[in-house]
Structure 1
Amino acid sequence: MSDRDGSGDRLETIEGAGTAEPADVPSIDEGRYLYCLVRADADAALETTGVDGEPVSIVAVDGIGAVVHACDGIYDSGDLAQIRRWLVRHQTVVDEAGQAFGTPIPFQFDTILRGDDDGVREWLREERDTLERALSELAGHWEYRVEVVEIDPVSDAALLERDERLRELDERIADADEGTAFLLEQQFEQRVTELRAARRESVTADLQGRLAAAAREVHALERSPSAQLSDDVAGSASDSNDDDETLCRLTLLAHEDDEEAIGSILDDVAANDGLEVRFTGPWPPYTFAPEFGGDGDGTTTDHTNSRP
């Protein structure tokens, strides 16, 4: 995003709500909390309430609308339950905007534009080319999340039956003295780790390739993400048992018309014994939407988990 007339300085993305020290909290006399951008006319409205019950409105210029509410500060709290309620409400507003106006460009939680509605209109005019391009490219597209879980992981004994190298090591361990056996057991465990990693990589590569034929973009995520407050609202929390092993997690951007084709591909994977596929969506394209308010031109595309 360009910084013409200081417009880029008015847009602030506040991350880590609930962790800021009082001295670090930005002072905002008047601002507009941003939920998302949508295709909307000047008279468009969204009948819902936002974070903390604030009335939501749409400020639109030339067919592009910002879903906002008036605010005079960021949303910061040491109460994690309160933060979760804010996150859920933020996500709900974005979801409702998507249902009413089509694919939105979502903002992360606590993104605030300094100024009043006129300031929002000025920002929309200044950044129209960037916003128009983003809305056009994402129109009709949504984010989906896929997790492939091995609910009955292959045992070491089964791997031993399948792999000649493991059998060789097992036989040598049985005949070795204590010191040599210890070293061979380390090699045995390393081989088991390699075989399991190869299986995960094979499943991931095969599924990515098949999904790429139906989706516009497919990206691998960390298999074991750290717990985040956004898990509950963004569908990334799973119901895995301790014995389950996640083989891969993927995020994909796909047109809504291709959801059935994607589901068919995942059904084929789920038909394999011992595998379970967890599929969530459609979500607003948080991972694939441009970020606003950053350094340089302020517009970046982040292919990591950037949901609220």
Structure 2
Amino acid sequence: MSDAAPASDTEFEDGRYLYCVVRVDDDAEFDVEGIEDEPVHVVTDGALGAVVHRCDSLYDSDDPTTLKRWLLAHQRVIDAAADAFGTPLPVRFDTVLTGDDGVVRNWLRESDAELRDALDELAGLREYRIEVRRDYDALADRLAETDDRLGELRTRKEESGEGTGFLVGKQYEQRLDDLVRDHRETEAEDIAERLARYADRIRRLGENRSASLVGAESDDDDSTVSVRFAILAPLDREDDVGAILDDIAAEDGVEVRFSGPWPPYTFAPELDDLEGASP
């Protein structure tokens, strides 16, 4: 088993902070600074390269501003690698391999097949983040018009006294919650089916905001109903995906957020899943 295991101690004598793995090109120019302006270099073995910088500790802070600055620097290096080498294999923030460049080079050699396969699967593709947001009140009005039971409960709630109105209101809210949940699922399935025409892969994201990709976070609140996706698509299909989202955004009470292209953060395998990278 390789010695290039992710660091378990916060401090160590010598290590390499790993940003991503790429297919190297002799003609590619790559000059970028990493986290805390550390000089970044590429450790190569054959056609593979690991984008790294030297370090002797992990990056740990209780300060959200500091963490965000580090995350942005991490993403900036991976973006630069994508521009220089094509679609990279991104590695999650704060992955450090203990050892020098030789250890990294040995890890590349021992993980060659797995890394090549992963890069081949992602070649020419980029990640896009999509969020479709519906105004909650507008959706409630629409559902009250199309669902007889909800419409009846809304009318009774508005016409009832305080005591009865409270009980009817609870029934109304429960019925509305059920219908909103069903609507969200139906809408998500419909959007995914439409996106599948141009996306290589589609992944439904959770309802909570994701902090894994700075710049693609959601600021959702109780006034909206959202469905979120990460998709993997060829760069030349970006306009086709955008046209689908334009049609969706044309509906009343709907806002669409579309970001990218990003390196394939959501779809890249975890480092621990690759042979030779775990103890």
TM-score, normalization: structure 2?
Answer: 0.88
Q: Are residues 1:70 and 2:70 paired?
A: no
- Provide the residue aligned with 1:236 in structure 2: 217
Q: Are residues 1:138 and 2:101 paired?
A: no
Q: How does 1:1-308 map to 2 (within 5 A)?
A: 4=1, 7=2, 10-12=4-6, 25-41=9-25, 46-151=30-135, 153-154=137-138, 156-170=140-154, 182-225=166-209, 228=211, 230=212, 233-238=214-219, 244-293=223-272
CA distance in 2, matches of 1:38, 1:31: 19
Query: What per-residue deviation string (whole Å, max 9, x for no partner) do you get for residues 55-101 of structure 1?
Result: 11111111111011111111122332222211111110100010111
- Provide the residue aligned with 1:17 in structure 2: none
Cα 1:92/1:147, change in 2 over 3 Å: same
CA distance in 2, matches of 1:46, 1:170: 62
Answer with 290-299 or 26-35: which moved more: 290-299
Say if 2:144 and 2:151, in contact at 8 Å, map to a contact too.
yes
SS of the residue aligned with 1:248?
A: strand
CA distance in 1, matches of 2:126, 2:181: 30
Query: What per-residue deviation string (whole Å, max 9, x for no partner) do you get for residues 198-249 of structure 1?
Result: 22222211101111121011111122326x4x55x242244x5x57413301
Give the deviation of 1:185 after TM superposition: 3.3
Say if 2:4 and 2:277, in contact at 8 Å, map to a contact too.
no
Answer with 182-191 or 249-258: which moved more: 182-191
Residue type of the partner of 1:220?
R
SS of the residue aligned with 1:29?
A: strand
SS of the residue aligned with 1:290?
A: coil
Say if 1:32 and 1:71, in contact at 8 Å, map to a contact too.
yes
Larger relative CO (CA 8 A, sep 6+): 1 or 2? 2
Q: CA RMSD in A?
A: 2.8
Query: What per-residue deviation string (whole Å, max 9, x for no partner) do you get for residues 84-130 of structure 1?
Result: 21111111010001011100101111111111111111111100000
CA distance in 1, matches of 2:239, 2:121: 21
- Provide the residue aligned with 1:19 in structure 2: none
Aligned positions, number: 278
Say if 2:4 and 2:107, in contact at 8 Å, map to a contact too.
no
Q: Structure 1 vs Structure 2: percent identity of aligned residues?
A: 46
Say if 2:110 and 2:276, in contact at 8 Å, map to a contact too.
no
CA distance in 1, matches of 2:274, 2:105: 22
TM-score, normalization: structure 1?
Answer: 0.80
SS of the residue aligned with 2:58?
A: coil
Cα 1:171/1:58, change in 2 over 3 Å: closer
CA distance in 2, matches of 1:13, 1:99: 28
Residue type of the partner of 2:116?
E
Cα 1:188/1:134, change in 2 over 3 Å: same
Cα 1:13/1:164, change in 2 over 3 Å: farther
* Unmatched runs of 5 consecutive residues or more in structure 2: none
Residue type of the partner of 2:216?
G
